[in-house]
Each structure stands twice: as structure tokens, then as C-alpha cells.
Amino acid sequence: MRSRAERRQVAEWLLRGALLVVLGIALWRTFQRDSVSTITRSTKTSTFATDFAGIVTNPAVGAIDLKVDAMPSRTERDALVALRRIGVIVRWSDIPPAIAVEVERTREPEARARVLVTAATRTPIALVDSAGLIDSLRAGADASVEAVSVVGAVRAEQGRFAASAYAPVPDARRAVLVLGRADWETKFVMQALNEAGWSVRARIPTAPGIAVNDDGLLPLDTSRYDVVVALDSSSAELAPVIARFVAQGGGLIAAGAALEWEPLRRLAPARAGDRRPGRILLADDSVTTRDLPLRPLSLVRSDAVSLQREAPGVTLAARRAGLGRVIALGYDESWRWRMLGGASGMGAHRRWWSSTVGSVAPDRAAAALSIGDGAPLASLVFALGKPSSPSAVSSQGGARDPLPIALLIMAALCLLAETASRRFRGAR
């Protein structure tokens, strides 16, 4: 049986042996590294795809200096990230222009594509899809363009640099329920929405106990309806049902007395104020929203947003209520805009009503395809970090080999343990 001191001596020999092994490995690694001299490869994003195979198959390439002369695609960015992960230092320079593009669908039956563009500079940007040029613009801070249809990806191009995005797939719209008295406003609101492609259902009281009704109006829920348009006091009977519909995510546009009924008043962004007469028209005048008689909105709530204003006051205000959205409307004779608005009045009235209804309709569009590249510069920085100049090679981190540090720590621990053991048993 060995004594404790003998066991200790055996352990010290083992530690010495381990130390020698570690030093041996370090020596071997040093000779290995020296035998393969690393090189830095310069390339450009426009030629990176063709250069990639050469970089990957050449073990001598330890770093890449990438000049961004065209926006790298998602695939190229992934390839650069992969190179970093296998220890190749990737540096990039020449910051491309910051452009971002997004495509959304208007919540209307036509489901036009709305292209939102942002750029850091006011250099002209061309918007193109697979079918050709859509429009050109100077975005600056931001800009939007509507197109009836787009084919494939929408690209915002600034020279050789481009951002791209896909429009979400539109979903079929549900019906709009119009509640109003038998008058011209009700008739022409229905007509405008019908012309814009909405499926319109209505309940129009014409005498006590008698109403012009579409069959099966109820139940009022978001699976059947997108929006309720309550034009006057005739909606009072359905006010509690409408309030529940809005809480579930439905939209509501309310005007005049409809804003006064208790269940709706709690949802409404504002109340209808006193009536103001419209402008007195001369023989050849055309009516616009400025000239309409209206009830400017009053008591606009603090969480409401004023969307439209005329000289007498706010005419359109919106707020969220539950899961739905509510618009308070100051106009109750918009039909005059359509009838007396000259050549453009009818179309303008139709578009205004359709977009107002669409603005409170639930968003049912499927999520946009994620295969676009909406903000390529941001994605590049996210993937590769900040850009750098080629001269700053040594200062760049890159991917480090963890083995030398591990060997150093192991050697130090072995040496420390062996020395401490000897000292504690009194040997030198």
C-alpha cells in the first residue's frame, strides 16, 4: 500500500507529463500554422458569386476584403456569414445607399398594392416589378405609391442598388352594413361603396315599423361584415350589437346622431357639433369637401387622431376601440360632392368613401412573403457588422481559434498544481 506522499509524487509526475503533452501540441500547432501562410482575398459583391468557389476551396484564404459595389443578395449574405463561421475574416467597405421598401394591400375590394419607400437621400428611385416600371420618385424621408396590381417582387432601384418586397396575398372583403334613413346621403353612400366593389347590405327605415331591409342582416359579426356605417339616429336600435361588433374587431363609421347613442358614444372619437351650412355656390361652381354643409366634430377624445379638417373644424377623427376601429364623421351630406362635384366629383366621392371604410376594416391580408429583401443595408450590417476600411485589417476581430488559449490555460494549471504540490510537501 502506497503512502500519501508517494501518491502525491505520482500525481506530480502525471502533471509534469500533461504539461509536456500540452507544450508538444502547442509546438506542433505552431509548425502547422507556419506551413500554411494565410492570404487576404479582395472581391466585390458584383463578382462574389463567381469568386465564392475559389475562396471556399483555397485553405490559404484567411480574410476577405469585400467591396460593396452592388447590393448583396440574401444568399450572398448567408455565404459571407458562413465564411465567418469557419474562421475567415470578412471585412466590407463602401456603404451602399440606404433604401427600404415595403408593400401592403389597401383594405378595399380592389386591394391595391401600396408601396412604401424610404431612402436616406433624395436620389431618384425607380419602382419596378416583374412587369416593368411602376413609377419613379424621390423618396427622401418616405413616400408611397399605389398600384392597382403588381407582378412578383417590387424593387426600389437606385442605380445598381435595390431593395425588394412582395405584396401580401389579398383576402376577400366582407360586407359593409349601411344604416341610415331614406335620404340622399344613405342612397349615395351605398352607391359609392357598391361602385367601389364593396358588398353592401342596408337597413333603411321608411316609415314607423317599416324598413327597406336586406334579408338576414343579423347576426352582426366579423365573419360576415367588415364595417358598419351608421349615418344617423336610425342605428339606435342596433347600437348595442354594433358596440359588440367593434369590440370583436369590426370597423365603425358613425356620423351625426349616431355618435350620440350611449353604446356608440363610448366608442366614438368625438361628437358631432352644431350644423354649419355649406358654401353658397355660383352657377358653375363645383363642390368639394370644403364646400359641404357639415357638423364639425367636437369633444375629440385625447386618444383620437384627427384625420381631416376643414375651416370650421375637424371633420374626420379616428380611434381604436376594443379590437376594432371607429371613425367619427362630420359630413352628413357628402352626396352633394358626388352630384355637384363636376367631372371628378363622382370618382372622388367614391374613392373617399371606399378608402374611409377600408381604413377601419379589419386587416385580413395574409402576411407578406418573407423572401423579399426590404431593407438590404440593415440586413448587411446585421449579418456582417459595421463596415470597415481595408487598412484596418489587424484591428478587426474576425473569428478566433480558441485552441491556443485553451492550451495556455491547461499548461498554467498543470504547472501551478505541480509546484503547489511540491511546496506543500516541503520539497523544492
Partner 1 sequence: MSDFVFATAQYESGDWDSAPLVPANIIDTIARYTSIDIAPSGVIVPLSSPSLFRYPLIYLTGHLPVHFGPSERTNLQRYAERGGLLFVDDHNHDIDGVFHKTATEELSRTFGVPKPLPKTHAIYKSFFVFEDGPPTTSHELNGWGDNLVHKTLSGVEREGRLVLLYSSKDYSSEWNYHPENKKFLSVDNTKFAVNLVVYALTR
Interface contacts to partner 1, rule CB under 8 A: 181-188, 191, 194-195, 202, 204-208, 210, 212, 232, 256, 281, 283-285, 293, 332-333, 335-336, 338-340, 345-346
The end-to-end CA distance of the chain, in Å, is 25
> What is the spatial distance between Cα 362 and Cα 4, in angstroms, rounded to a whole number?
81
Q: Please identify, using beta-carbon distances, which residue of 73 and 191 lies nearer to partner 1.
A: 191
Q: Name 353's Cβ contacts closer than 8 Å, sequence gap at least 6.
A: 189, 192, 193, 196, 334
> What is the spatial distance between Cα 268 and Cα 235, in angstroms, rounded to a whole number?
14
Q: Please identify, using beta-carbon distances, which residue of 22 and 204 lies nearer to partner 1.
A: 204
What is the smallest separation between the CB atom of 240 and partner 1, expressed in angstroms?
22
Q: Name 409's Cβ contacts closer than 8 Å, sequence gap at least 6.
A: none
Give the bridge partners for 316, in sequence order.
308, 329
Q: Please identify, using beta-carbon distances, which residue of 166 and 335 lies nearer to partner 1.
A: 335
* Grid cell at residue 314: 375637424
What is the smallest separation between the CB atom of 189 and partner 1, expressed in angstroms?
11
Query: For 86, which DSSP code?
Result: T
What is the smallest separation between the CB atom of 238 and partner 1, expressed in angstroms?
17
What is the smallest separation between the CB atom of 346 and partner 1, expressed in angstroms?
5
> What is the spatial distance between Cα 239 and Cα 263, in angstroms, rounded to a whole number?
6
Q: Please identify, using beta-carbon distances, which residue of 275 and 423 lies nearer to partner 1.
A: 275
What is the smallest separation between the CB atom of 182 and partner 1, expressed in angstroms?
4
Q: Please identify, using beta-carbon distances, which residue of 67 and 187 lies nearer to partner 1.
A: 187
> What is the spatial distance between Cα 219 and Cα 235, in angstroms, rounded to a whole number?
15
Q: Please identify, using beta-carbon distances, which residue of 168 and 180 lies nearer to partner 1.
A: 180
189 phi and psi angles, rounded to 5 deg? -65, -45
Q: Please identify, using beta-carbon distances, which residue of 208 and 397 lies nearer to partner 1.
A: 208
Instruction: Give the largest CA-CA distance in the chain.
Output: 124
Q: Report which of 75, 67, 77, 74 is spatially closest to residue 47, judged by C-alpha positions.
A: 67
* Grid cell at residue 419: 509546484
Find the helix packing angle between 74-85 and 376-384, rounded to 10°: 10
What is the smallest separation between the CB atom of 360 and partner 1, expressed in angstroms?
22
What is the smallest separation between the CB atom of 271 and partner 1, expressed in angstroms?
16
